[in-house]
Amino acid sequence: MIAITGHTKGFGKYLFQRLHARGFSRSNGFDINDPQKIIESLDDCDIFINNAYDGFAQVKLLYALYEEWKNKNKLIINIGSRSKDFTLREREVSFGYSVEKLALEHASKQLSGTFSKCKITALHFGRMEEIGYDICYDYVQLAIKTKYNEHRLVDLHVSH
């Protein structure tokens, strides 16, 4: 079973519908700022898509879930952003967002370098309006397939 945060709009909704996932968002009583409540509801899930954004809460959720899953054959896919790669001048409007997505990237790399059974993947997309949800979905599918292989997809950057 696949679970996803932020399943009510945007790319999260798109993934939720196509993957027939279990959704976690404020609309159904879950908040990524309360990771324990989400983790307690993931008993039958083996793939978690960490999609919802709320400051550094995505990073906090990643660390909390990793602690729970590190000795289990599971997969965490973090949806990052290419905004973290732009210069300060280009990201003045969204500087906080960029720094928070950069923190998610570093946390993903840190945890994917461990010898745990749980695999950690980070996908960083550029402007989805330019790339298209279908293309981004293909990369999520690629990440999902790695759960069943010996290799790991650690960090993937996609731009138009």
Residue type, 90: E
How confident is residue 160, by pLDDT bands cut at 50, 70 and 90?
low
Span 71-80, average pLDDT: 93
Span 38-42, average pLDDT: 96
Helix ranges (DSSP H) in the chain: 10-19, 35-39, 57-69, 95-112, 128-131, 133-146
Is 26 in a helix, a strand, or coil?
Answer: helix
The mean of the pLDDT values for the chain is: 85
Q: Six-digit token pair at 12? A: 């999260």
Q: Six-digit token pair at 65? A: 């879930």
pLDDT of residue 30: 96
Residue written as token pair 């289990």: 72
pLDDT of residue 22: 95
Its CATH architecture, for the domain 2-158, is: 3-Layer(aba) Sandwich (3.40)
pLDDT of residue 11: 87
Q: Six-digit token pair at 157? A: 């950057």
